Structure 1
Amino acid sequence: MIELKEISKKFGDTQAVKQVSFSILRAETLVLLGTSGCGKTTTLKMINRLIEPDSGQILINEKNITDEDPDTLRKGIGYVMQNIGLFPHYNIAENIAILPKLLKWDKLKTQSRTQELIKKLHLPDSILAMYPHELSGGQQQRVGLARALITDPPVLLMDEPFGALDNVTRTSIQKEFKALEELKRKAIVMVTHDVQEAFELADRICLMDKGEVIQIGTPKELLYQPINDIVKGFLAGQRLVLEFKVVSIQDIWDYLPEETIDDVESVAANLSIWEAMELLRDSERSELFISGANKTIKSVNFEQLTKAFNRYQNTQQHE
């Protein structure tokens, strides 16, 4: 869907991006991760030509983006900014309808699509007549996402989209983001410096440092197959939590007790260890029933879960 070929960019004497290459598939979320100044936002903005590269090529659907008018290009790409960027003198309905108005959609089409999106994003109808300053940070962020999705673009760029939110609101919106069917068929490039956010939301992560790509891979690959000490060091401080979030019950299935149970309410084995621990902590029950392959159901408590996870960890470290 998107391909970057040896993209470079300098600002004065500073090499912001140096020969960056990667590709993003349809229905994939690639997160650009790294510290401030590593070149991730510059890389993102070159995809919709808010910044022009000094060298290299960017292709979308195998077409070089420099062959297209920048305004036309941007109309086909959703863009969500960190500071949301809602127009304060427009009400919410007008903010969401900016691009449909430029594309000369009729009012009924715009209203119908707006209603569809605010329902999906769990916003009340009453919000459409309100102004940005009347909304909470979480509501504003959902409106910013609705505005980016209104024309159903195949590509979505997100620059620190949840960075301005408090922790509770950010966690809630991240869960909604992961569950939103609308996003599961788009090529998404997201910038963040938040390691846990990257591991929560990414199909693959592109770790950048000093304008260069250090490693691209799935969250598991970065954790268990780091290419060098830079990757190891970047993840070291949060490694255990990250492992809890990327390892699923299915991964540790063979290390769980053999006892099987029939005819009980169960959860799927694609649940992460972190999610399973949360369920055990938040519910009054002392065990979870997990449904695995061949409809096998196993019962697991906190101690069994921890032991199985530790055994899985040991196998990964020895590989």
Structure 2
Amino acid sequence: MVTDNPEIKTPALLQAKNLSRNDPLSGHILLHPANCTVEPGDRIALSGASGSGKSIFVRTLALLDKPDAGELILHGKPVQRADACRYRAQIAYIRQSPVLLQTSVEGNLTFPFGLTVNRDKKYDRQKIERFLHAIDRPSAFLAKDSDTLSGGEKQLVCLLRVLQLDPCLLLLDEPTSALDESTAQLVEKLIEHWMYVNDRRTATLWISHDEQQKARVGNRVWQMKSGRLTTDEIAEGQE
């Protein structure tokens, strides 16, 4: 007879074990062996000075750059090399400078569904409209040409393009650093809505140099210094 066992713990969303990277030319260590665990509902703020290795770590965690050593474990299962495309569909990376196709907003949003990795998914306009409603944008926004969008609007479209695909973890590499404060808070609001509708089963890891923003978006604080990661510091006021 099978019974519920309270001691059985749900696997972490993502774990990294001894993840490291070296400069392929000089051999210089870019990322010292890093160990971390991301749980559902985590909102992690990654702090550190410019050049400390934050982006290197996040890009390696996203498998955009190949690690030289270490292991990634997604939902309790080790990630194999052949799994990289599906892994990147779950662990989504958002960079500082948005890149869009020269078509309408909706054309940019439908584009990912033509990719092999998303062949089992379908574009859901009503889902997008709910996201737009959360940030006070009308449905007519979908008809706008991407060339006419402001920098902030382009970043919102890039976010929508990713969020509609239901990743489990967002890796945010200073996505609002070039935006004014009101637009930056719209980006934050969109991400918060995404986490809410997913019932906190998702997580975010956010690089930011803005102390006020880090306080808003983070309930955990990680630190990067000279390529060395320190985790599990509790954000002030979030205990």
TM score, norm. by length of structure 2: 0.82
2:226 paired residue number: 210
* Post-superposition CA distance 1:248-267 (Å, at most 9, x none): xxx9xxxxxxxxxxxxxxxx
CA distance, structure 2, for counterparts of residue 19 and residue 178 of structure 1: 31
Task: Please tell me whether the aligned partners of residues 62 and 92 of structure 2 are also in contact (alpha carbons under 8 angstroms).
Answer: no
- 1:10 aligned residue: 22
Q: Aligned pair 1:100/2:113, yes or no? A: yes
Output the aligned Cα RMSD. Answer: 2.4
RCO (CA 8 Å, sep 6+): is it higher in 1 or 2?
A: 2
In the TM superposition, residue 40 of structure 1 has moved relative to its aligned partner by 1.2
Aligned residue runs from structure 1 range 107-186, under 5 A: 109-175=123-189, 177-178=191-192, 180=194, 181-182=196-197, 184-186=200-202
Q: 1-side partners of 2:187 and 2:88: how far apart?
A: 25
Shift >6 Å, 4+ stretches: none
Report the Cα offset of residue 67 of structure 1. Answer: 4.2
Identical-pair percentage:
24
- Per the TM alignment, residue 209 of structure 1 is displaced from its structure 2 partner at its CA by 0.5
Pair 1:74–1:117, CA change in 2 (3 A): same
1:122 shift after superposition: 2.6
Q: Which whole-Å CA distance do the structure 2 matches of 1:129 and 1:66 have between them? A: 40
User: What corresponds to 1:242 in structure 2?
Assistant: none
CA contact (8 A) 2:90 2:168 kept: yes
Aligned length: 221
Residue matched to 2:214: 198
Q: Secondary structure at the match of 2:44?
A: strand
The Cα of 1:127 is off from its aligned counterpart by 1.4
Conservation of the 8 A alpha-carbon contact between 2:59 and 2:93? no
CA distance in 2, matches of 1:139, 1:126: 13
Q: Within 2, Cα distance between the matches of 1:156 and 1:83?
A: 16
Aligned-partner residue type, residue 119 of structure 2: K
In 2, distance between residues paired with 1:136 and 1:177? 19
- Which residue of structure 1 aligns with residue 58 of structure 2? 44
Unaligned residue ranges in structure 2 (runs of 5+): 1-12
Does the Cα contact within 8 Å between 1:4 and 1:59 map onto a contact in 2?
A: yes
1:84 alignment partner AA: P
Whole-angstrom distance in 1 between the partners of 2:94 and 2:161: 8
- 1:211-245 deviations in whole A, cap 9, x for unaligned? 0024531212xxxxxxxxxxxxxxxxxxxxxxxxx
Aligned residue runs from structure 1 range 243-258, under 5 A: 246=237
SS of aligned partner of 1:85: coil
The yes-or-no answer on 1:31 pairing with 2:48 is no
CA drift at 1:105: 5.9
* Worse-superposed segment, 137-146 or 51-60: 137-146
Bigger CA radius of gyration: 1
Determine the C-alpha separation between the residues in 2 that align with 1:177 and 1:106: 21
Deviation at 1:151, TM superposition (A): 1.5
Given the alignment of the two structures, is residue 53 of structure 1 paired with residue 67 of structure 2, yes or no? yes
TM-score with structure 1 length normalisation? 0.63
The one-letter code of the counterpart of 2:218 is A
Partners of 2:72 and 2:219 in 1: CA distance? 21
Output the CA distance in 2 between the equivalents of 1:18 and 1:163: 26
Q: Deviations over 1:166-196 (max 9, x none)?
A: 2343245435544552364312222223333
Aligned to 1:90: 103
Report the structure, 1 or 2, having the larger helix content: 1
**Distance of 2:220 and 2:58 partners within structure 1:** 15
Q: Residues 68 and 191 (structure 1 numbering): CA distance in 2 closer, same or farther, change over 3 Å?
A: farther
Runs of 5+ consecutive residues of structure 1 not aligned to the other structure: 221-245, 252-319
Distance 1:106 1:112, change over 3 A: farther
